[in-house]
Amino acid sequence: MSVRQGLLALLAEEPMYGARLRSEFEARTGGTWPLNVGQVYTTLSRLERDGLVEPVGGPDEEGRIAYRLTAAGREESASWWLTPVDRDSTPRDELVIKLALAVTSPGVDVSRVVQTQRTATLRHLRDLTRLKSRATDDPDANDLAWLLVLENLLFAAESEVRWLDHVEATLSRMPAASLRRPRAVPGEAGSDDTAPALGTKGAGR
């Protein structure tokens, strides 16, 4: 989640200072994406530079400065809710990178890498399932937000386990020698320049 957009969404409700923005952000996302106050104030500084927020008066007795949205900030925040999350750019998933390197690196036991990760992911999945079992039907909005975050993490963990199963099945069907031949990068000598690049606009369309 974009911290920038998250802070704008919170400030759309009322002016807040950095420490409260941090606590509200963490409470509403179930503490899944922890922030530090320095990160919050750095983001606020950039938002102020971009004309999206402004301080409300001077510091209080504790030296805290509250911020509020400008008209431009309110417009951007409102627009964010109805703007689809961009899925065209491929995120740098460490597990994907690790396995992509493992299958092309001599001396790496790829099956063991997969099995080790599956064990860890299944443990994570069990922990998430236990957390969800403790969730109640309390209509409090923050509890609902936490439940939605938990379910997203559960689906992601389940998907990762299925993908790891697929990777292991694929490895079992391929000759070991073929695992060490990395694919040529499009644009380099001898490569297929017509191959689509992941993460580019319009890829696969």
Look up the pTM and report it: 0.66
Rounded to the nearest 10 degrees, the angle between the axes of helix 110-134 and helix 141-173 is 160
The pair of three-digit structure tokens given for residue 29, joined into one six-digit string: 């996302």
Q: How far apart are CA 172 and CA 45, in angstroms?
A: 52
Cβ neighbors of 119 (< 8 A, separation 6 or more) are none
**Burial label, 17 (beta-carbon count in 10 A; 0-12, 13-18, 19+):** buried
pLDDT, tens only, 13-51: 999 999 999 999 988 877 777 888 899 999 999 999 999
Question: What 8-state DSSP symbol labels residue 196?
Answer: P
Cβ neighbors of 149 (< 8 A, separation 6 or more) are 29, 30, 32
pLDDT, tens only, 69-117: 999 999 999 999 888 877 776 667 889 889 888 888 878 899 999 999 9
Question: What 8-state DSSP symbol labels residue 111?
Answer: H
